[in-house]
Amino acid sequence: MAEPNTDLDVVDELTIDHREALALLDQIGTSTDPAERRDLADTVIAEVVRHAVAEEMYVYPAVRYHLASGEQVVQHDIEEHKQLEQVMKQLEGADASEPRFDSLVREMTEQLRHHANQEETEQFPQLRADIPRERLVELRKKVETAKQVAPTRPHPSAPNAELFHKMVGPGVGLVDRLRDRLSGRSTG
Ligand SMILES: [Fe+2]
Ligand SMILES: [Fe+2]
């Protein structure tokens, strides 16, 4: 008898990403140590860029194909990714001890919450209704692989911190460098 398929599908994976990113943003608000705030901000920026690029590569094409007015939905979502990127670019260069840093964190939180909510209540349920489960599990594997092109931003004391810094590095330009690497535009 066939075992029920309990693998996570792409909707599970992306929803977990949303929760984790929002939790990291919350954590920034509870920290008063500028170094820790900088570290958390770089971590959440790296996570959101990885997530957004993977969505654009593998999930939005499925949205475009399967949803009524898929093309408009995808254009709207990509526009929101660009807005998020603008805020993240300001955040990567902001001083973690300045009030501006907090307002950027709040702005990023609001934009991400809105965008994630829309995906989770509109696009994702329609994908699940339209696409067979095996295909959604395959899509999750593709998303995972796409995200691995750039390493996870680790805590500075983690063993792969050096790898991350060598490949991507924190600070100004982080969003662009990560996006280039993930989308295959980078040669470095
Ligand atoms: Fe998205
Ligand atoms: Fe998303």
Q: Is the pLDDT of residue 174 over 90?
A: no
pLDDT of residue 97: 95
Phi-psi group of 81: left, alpha or beta (phi > 0 → left; psi -120 to 50 → alpha; rest → beta):
alpha
Q: What is the mean pLDDT of residues 139-151?
A: 89
> From ligand 2's centre to the CA of 118, what distance in Å?
9
**How would residue 183 be classed by pLDDT, with cut points 50, 70 and 90?**
confident
Question: Which of the residue ranges 3-7, 10-14, 55-59, 118-122 would you say has the lowest mean pLDDT?
Answer: 3-7
Q: Is 170 exposed, middle or buried (0-12, 13-18, 19+ CB in 10 A)?
A: buried
> 18 alpha carbon to ligand 1 midpoint, in Å?
9
Residue 74 CA to ligand 1 centre (angstroms): 9
- pLDDT at residue number 116: 98
Helix 99-118 vs helix 34-54: crossing angle, to nearest 10: 30
| Centroid of ligand 2 to alpha carbon of 113 (angstroms) | 10
Expressed in angstroms and rounded, the spacing between residue 55 Cα and the centre of ligand 2 is 7
Half-sphere exposure for 167 (CA within 13 Å, toward CB): 18
Q: What is the pLDDT of residue 188?
A: 45
Query: pLDDT at residue 2 above 80?
Result: no
Ligand nearest to the CA of 143: 2
What is the pLDDT at residue 187? 47
Average pLDDT value for residue range 105-125: 97
